[in-house]
Amino acid sequence: MLATHGLSFSFPSRDAVKMNFPDIQCATGAQWLLLGQSGSGKTTLLHLLAGLRTPAAGTVQINDTIINRLSTRELDRFRGQQIGIVFQQAHFVRSLTVAQNLALARQLAGLLPDASAIRVLLERLNVGHKLHALPQALSVGEQQRVAIARALINEPTVILADEPTSALDDHNTEQVVELLQSQAAAANATLLVVTHDQRLKANFDQYIQL
């Protein structure tokens, strides 16, 4: 479950305008689309939901935890274990293989290594043959699939995807959305896709417009 109440944010500037966001209520396993044009604050909202920014007011709740009341250490651990994030840019550690990047995601969340789970997940996303490849050896589509795998490897209860289709044609857009939705459904995770891409409205029954 993902919910917000009275959420707002201000950038640290004398002339900053406070950004106020609508309340969100996403049930466990639900799949939502959050739409907004560039500058509407949708990426800022995603960062608030992920605990990457601190709100000026209001709360972000994931299941029974209000995440903006956690200490920095508690939030890091909680985010690693409960939130999967697919960023616009993959941000892989370039010196590590695909498998090592996924293992690092588990390590940073305080979880034990699980080579078998990594292998199974990559195979499920049709990139099992890239297990020992470096990120720069992957195609754009393969990087997206590995990024989804990294977001899922810790079996999060919430998956947040930031503009996952912004640079894709219609065919690849359908593939990425189907991957996100199917993998979220398999894990019974709440999925929220943040985008300006109006094509995605056809794939979601529930959406929020900023």
Mean pLDDT across the stretch 27-37? 94
Instruction: Compute the distance between CA of residue 184 and CA of residue 24 in angstroms, rounded to an integer.
Output: 19
Pseudo-torsion of CA 85, 90, 91, 93, nearest 10°?
Answer: 110
Residue 15: pLDDT above 70? Answer: no
Instruction: Compute the distance between CA of residue 68 and CA of residue 9 in angstroms, rounded to an integer.
Output: 12
pLDDT single digits (tens) 56-104:
999 999 999 999 999 999 999 999 999 999 988 888 999 999 999 999 9
The per-residue pLDDT for 83 is 96
Pseudo-torsion of CA 147, 148, 154, 158, nearest 10°?
Answer: 120
Long-range contacts of 167-172 (CB under 8 A, 24+ apart): 167/140, 170/199, 172/141
Task: State the average pLDDT for the chain.
Answer: 92
Instruction: Compute the distance between CA of residue 118 and CA of residue 70 in angstroms, rounded to an integer.
Output: 29
Give the residue among 159, 138, 154 at the shortest CA–CA distance from 102: 154
